[in-house]
Every structure is written in C-alpha cells, then in structure tokens.
Structure 1
C-alpha cells in the first residue's frame, strides 16, 4: 500500500476515534471506499515531491490542530491543496488531514 493511501486511511481512522457506534459504521465505510479507490490512482503518483510537501507541513499541521483550526500555515495549505488535488474523492476535513500529516 502506498504512503499516500496510508495517510488517507490514518486520517479517516483518526476521525472515527471519538465517534458513536452509528457514525463509526459510516466512517469505516468511508475508509473502505477511500482505500479501494486509492489503489486506482496511487500507481500514477510519484511520492518524492509529495513527501517533501507533506513533511514540510508537519509543523503547520501541529499548530493548526493545537489552535483548533485558528492558525493555518502556508505549508499546511499547500499540503491540503495537493492532497485534495490528487485525491478528490476524499471526504476528510482539514483537521483529519492535518492529523494524518502528523501521523506520517
């Protein structure tokens, strides 16, 4: 499994951590769909430049999470845009993606 797919799964699994039983089912369905779809497009990606953008965004992601979304750094914005451009089918919000960037 590619790093980006793992990043995606981590973001969605993190979101399920505090979910109730009914929303957990919906979240796990989303994770399953994201993983199934990710195999179709990840083979076309190169991760060298992607990794650099995501790694550079770690400090901004930590600040974003710690400030509860009030502080949004330029590197985090670039990483979020890149992730959404490469995986438009993702249903993760900014916090979930920031958590996944930190978990990387």
Structure 2
C-alpha cells in the first residue's frame, strides 16, 4: 500500500514538472521569436540608413524617446520616422523599434 502511494506521488510529481517545463519552453520560445523580429527590423533599418543625414540627426531625439519609453517625441525623430517609412514602406516596425535602430547606427 505504501509503495503504491509512493509510486503514485512520484508519477504525479513527474507529470507536474513536465507541465511546468513545457510552459517554460513555450514562454521562452515566444520571447525569443519576438526578440528575433525586433532584431531583424533593427538590422534592416541600420544597414539601410547608416549614412542618411536625416536619420543620423535624430539620434539625440531617439535617445530621449527610448529613455522616456515614448513620452518624449522630438521633431528630428518624427522627421526621421516619416523619412524611414517613406523610403521603406514595406518595413513593419514600431516607433520604438525604429528609435532603437537609429541609436544602433
């Protein structure tokens, strides 16, 4: 009797740890995919606009935007975002991703 309870408890613990591990893997995969998409958008913008004067002039405004989590939107940053979107209409990146890309240049 004691042995069957011990075996049952061990089985339940094994199943519980598997469920936790699975949810951890799913969460980790989701975070990594999101980071990958952000990195791809950042590298596309960085390589395309490295020598662009409008984008390079927006660096300080981009730093303020990122540091304030989007609360501070400078004129040069707005101009650079519009310029980037006009030059690359297929680019699907948020303002925050583009501001980070400008800082990476």
**Normalization by structure 1: what TM-score?**
0.57
Say yes or no: does 1:103 pair with 2:99.
no
- Corresponding residue for 1:22? 30
Q: 1:56 & 1:29 partners in 2: Cα distance? A: 26
Return the index of the structure with the highest Cα Rg. Answer: 2
Deviation per CA, 1:22-60: give whole Å up to 9, x if none. Answer: 25336646839x96xxxxxx7xxxx69x61101110000
Equivalent pairs counted in the alignment come to: 74
- Corresponding residue for 1:71? 72
Unaligned runs of 5+ in 2: 1-26
| Higher-RCO chain (CA-CA 8 Å, sequence separation at least 6) | 1
RMSD: 3.0
**Normalization by structure 2: what TM-score?**
0.57
